[in-house]
Structure formats: C-alpha cells, structure tokens
Amino acid sequence: MATSPLVGVVMGSKSDYSCMGAAVRTLQEFGVAHEARVVSAHRTPDLLWMYATEARGRGLRAIIAGAGGAAHLPGMLAAKTIVPVFGVPVNATSLNGLDALLSIVQMPKGIPVGTLAIGEAGAVNAALLAIAVLATTDPALGDKLERWRAAREQLVLAETLDEGGNA
C-alpha cells in the first residue's frame, strides 16, 4: 500500500529539478513520503490554486517550492494554504538566483515563506527543515535526524590540515 505524501516538492518547471532533485533525494534518504510535481505560478495558476487549497486535506505537512526568476510560486502557495511553505530560489536567470531570492524573501506580513539559500544547498536545507518539522511528532524520524547530524559532525572532526593549512 502506498503511503500518502507528507511533503510536497514543487517547482515552476521541469528544468528546476536539476536543483530541486536535491530536496527529493534528501527526503528519500530519510524515508519521508513525498511527491514531486511541476506547478507553475504563471503557466498553471489553476493547478497552483488547487494544489495549495487541497494540500492540508491531503495530509501534506510541508511544501518545498523551488522557483527562479520572478519566483512567485512559494508566495502564492503560502497565500492559499496554512501548510508551511519553504521557498528555494533556483538559479535560473542571468542574475544567478538573486532575483528569485529577493522575490521569495520579500513576502508581505501575514504570508510567511521560510526562505532558504539559492540553489542545491537551499533545496537540501529545505528538505532537512521539513524533516525537522515532521520529527516533532515522529520520534523515530527525530532519532534518524540526530544520527545524520552527528555523522556530519564526525566528518568535520575527521578533517585534518597540515601545518600550512592544506588539506
């Protein structure tokens, strides 16, 4: 039996998957039920409205929305649902994602979007943030997240530099 998705990963176009795939892979690593879809704020506004208004009723607990350029997707989703939305600016224009970052982070009071870093690091962190939200009510997932973070700590502690500061 398929598990209903807890996290939605949406992006403005298929080309955004080169960035947003990092969020999907992170959710897979943790075994979090999720879905990945293209939902364009500008080209499929009716789909966006439906996706956002049905998100809570379908059991989504977080939405990770990646968009480049004008990057209206995260904000429009947040305007239509109380499910937490984490926005990932995608580097899709000659402005290297700065335009998307500014668009996503400048939401009006009352319509929050948790805004992450530009690109793949932001996509991974958005997934980790969604996992942390889920872990508040899922002790096993919380334990897995704590082990994952401890493993990252050990990787850093294992790094050594020679006296000249070289790896």
**61 labeled binding residue:** no
**13 labeled binding residue:** yes
Q: Which of helix, strand or coil describes residue 89?
A: strand
Give the orientation angle of helix 45-55 with respect to helix 73-80, to 10 degrees. 50
- Quote the tokens at residue 161: 């530099």
Contact 34, 20 (CB under 8 A): no
Q: Which of helix, strand or coil describes residue 95?
A: coil
**43 labeled binding residue:** yes
Output the known binding site.
13, 16, 43
**Sequence ranges of the binding site for substrate:** 13, 16, 43
